[in-house]
Structure 1
Amino acid sequence: MQEPVDPPSAAHGPDPAAVPTDADGTQNGESREIDRLRREVRDLRGKLRAHPLISHAQGLLQERYRLPDAEAAFELMKRCSQQHNLKLRNLASAVVSVPRPDDERGLWFPGRSGRTPPPLKFLPGHRPDKVNRSTVLKQVLHQALAFTEAPMGDLQTMEPAVGLQMEHHRGLSEEFLDFFAVVEEGTSCSLAARRRVRVVSDVATDPAVSEPAREMILAVGSRTTHSVPMLSPAGRAVGVFSLHLPQPRRDLTRVQATAMDGMAAQAGRWLEWHQQTILLNALEDLHRRGRDLRSGPGRRHKE
């Protein structure tokens, strides 16, 4: 962010008519500043929503490893989330939802063997065992929008302690993102996750869409939604991405629908692998560090 400067005097300042403007007439600099402030507000709201979950996880870890305070538990989670390239709320959700270790002196997940990551054909040039989770999710949404020429879309993942939670989006209003930060019943994406099939919804008339959700979706100009579930090999919904189209009752072509289902299947298998490998690795590391802290500084493993 640039350092603030005093505005130029009218005599020496630029001609307002010569300053590039957006389509609505707002000057570009002002528009960028508004966008930045909106992102900050959205980030703050996200932190507020995650706070109860993280606090719950802090309490569990503080009790389990006899940590001196909640701050020590937070630092433990923060360090492990950074080490394993995970979002803090994802790690906290796992701490809360995964059964505690049977033997707190040993491994949290004994007998676990390495698993080969499934291929990601829509991400050529990326090793599936090295690529970042956020990169995979962003590319799913990006390629889905590009291939279907949809102007708007969003992607949610299934968090055990939360439900469907917004991860990535494009072309949607701040009000929309705030309303659907956590997706509940009464939407095509929740229906797709429950039925585990692609769901097409005529937003204005679909009886499965709740009235508050319908009003919010119509307000952003979406008339047809295509919600595609990402499924694990066992058929469990691990996420959903939705395409928002401005035309009523707009169908995808057969080629587009086949491509969306195929990409969703690849992403679903990979997300399941990530949960069962990378996330469990992080929990195991957290458990080791927590045991070391409980044992005292003289018995901690060297890193």
Structure 2
Amino acid sequence: MSTRGREAAADDGELERLRAEVRDLRARARVRPLISQAQGILQERYALPDAESAFALMQRASQRYNVKLRTLAGMLVTAPRPEAGDALWFPGRVRGPEPELTFTRAHRSGSGSRGAVLKAVLGSALTVVGTDMGNVQLTDRARGGLNIEEHTGLTAGFVDFFAHVGDDGTSCAQAARDVSQVTVREVESDPVFTEPARRAILAAGSRACHSVPLTTASGLCVGMVSAHLDRPLNGLTTAQTKALDTVGTEAGRWLAWHDRTVVLDALEHLHALGSAGRGRRLRRS
């Protein structure tokens, strides 16, 4: 390689490093306000001496129940506060059995891991559609909209751009709003997208996509799985849409169970720790 070629390669490498750094900073900036809000609530509620102690409290509950800090913080800031003096945060709550996921053998017995289930949801949807690009999003309790939780085959630029989407301008937003599957046969011409969103999708190599809402038993959309294709999509068969409906309804019911069981268990544990350690300084584990 010539000197000029080596210099160009070095410049490209530095540019990509800077882009990755910017993406990381954006990701941190998206989560930090929520974590800070949760820390403030915990400091006030348990008379903790500093924000570090509040973070340590969340970290311990997060690690014990294998719940992401962002998930725990989102539930914490939106849940009604516990009654003063109550040992339990959610007294009298009813526990139900973990729903079965019939669309994948790996999870018929139930793993309790949200990450593992979301990977299975994505893999199952992509197999049905016949592609290797896609993502799973979950609803953002604090801000509304959808956050990407799992993805495969998509560029870093795509994941950064669509890390959080609002209530319009994308096919997944429309599918969430209508609580129904949405097919985009050609990204380049479909009016559902804003122009920046269209450019970001095309830049990732996606030419068509299909979004499937993840719904609870009451019909509430709690997430989305989307498949992206590198070619225009003529449409899906009745069998494909039926299979995707199964993925969406079973996954939505499992996520609702996880929120009201595992995540609430984590909050109960946090409440017990906070009550026992009221006013004391805590350190991260």
TM-score, normalising length from structure 1?
0.81
Structure with max Cα Rg: 1
Q: Is the 8 A contact 1:118 1:128 kept in 2?
A: no
Structure 1 equivalent of residue 129 of structure 2: 148
1:203 equivalenced with 2:184 (yes/no): no
- Aligned pair 1:174/2:137, yes or no? no
In the TM superposition, residue 86 of structure 1 has moved relative to its aligned partner by 0.5
Structure 1 pair 290/79, CA: closer, same or farther in 2 (3 Å)?
Answer: same
1:63 equivalent to 2:47? Answer no
Does structure 2 retain, via aligned residues, the 8 Å contact 1:154–1:169? yes
Q: What residue ranges of structure 1 are gaps of 5+ in the alignment?
A: 1-15, 17-25, 298-303
* Equivalent residue for 1:118, pick from 75, 93, 99: 99
Match for residue 94 of structure 1 among 75, 100, 105:
75
- Could you tell me how far apart the structure 2 residues matched to 1:294 and 1:210 are? 49
* Number of residue-to-residue matches in the alignment: 269
The percentage of counterpart residues that share the same residue type is 49
Code of the aligned partner of 1:172: L
Counterpart for residue 190 of structure 1: 173
TM-score, L = length of structure 2: 0.86
Q: In 2, distance between residues paired with 1:125 and 1:115?
A: 21
For 1:91 and 1:102, the matched residues in 2 are separated by: 19
Q: Whose RCO is larger (CA < 8 A, sep 6+)? A: 2
Contact 2:216 2:256 in 1 (8 A): yes
Instruction: Report the CA distance shift for 1:235/1:35 in structure 2 as closer, same or farther (over 3 A).
Output: farther
CA distance in 2, matches of 1:221, 1:295: 53
Summarize deviations over 1:94-148 as a string: whole Å, max 9, x none.
1111111133433211111221111111232436553310000011111221232
For residues 252-291 of structure 1, the C-alpha deviation after alignment (integer angstroms, 9 at most, x for no partner) is 2222221111111111110000011111111111111111
CA separation of 1:296/1:245 partners in 2, compared to 1, >3 Å: closer, same or farther? closer
| 8 Å CA contact 1:231, 1:237 repeated in 2 | yes
Given that 1:226 and 1:243 are in contact with CA atoms closer than 8 Å, whether structure 2 keeps it comes out as yes
In structure 2, the partner of 1:290 is 274
Deviations 1:43-68 (A, max 9, x none): 55423321111011000000011001
Q: Corresponding residue for 2:198?
A: 214
The separation in 2 between residues aligned to 1:67 and 1:221, in whole angstroms, is 49
The answer to whether the Cα contact below 8 Å between 2:49 and 2:279 also exists between their aligned partners in 1 is no
Partner SS state of residue 77, structure 1: helix
5+ residue gaps, structure 2: 2-8
The 3 A distance-change label for structure 1 pair 95 and 235 is: same
1:1-303 pair list within 5 angstroms: 42-43=23-24, 45-126=26-107, 129-162=110-143, 163-184=145-166, 185-201=168-184, 202-294=186-278
Shift of residue 296, structure 1, vs aligned partner = 6.2
Structure-2 separation of matches of 1:240 and 1:142: 13
> What is the letter of the counterpart of residue 240 of structure 1?
M
Q: Which residue of 1 aligns with 2:4?
A: none
57-66 or 135-144, which deviates more = 135-144
Question: What's the RMSD between the two structures over aligned residues?
Answer: 2.5
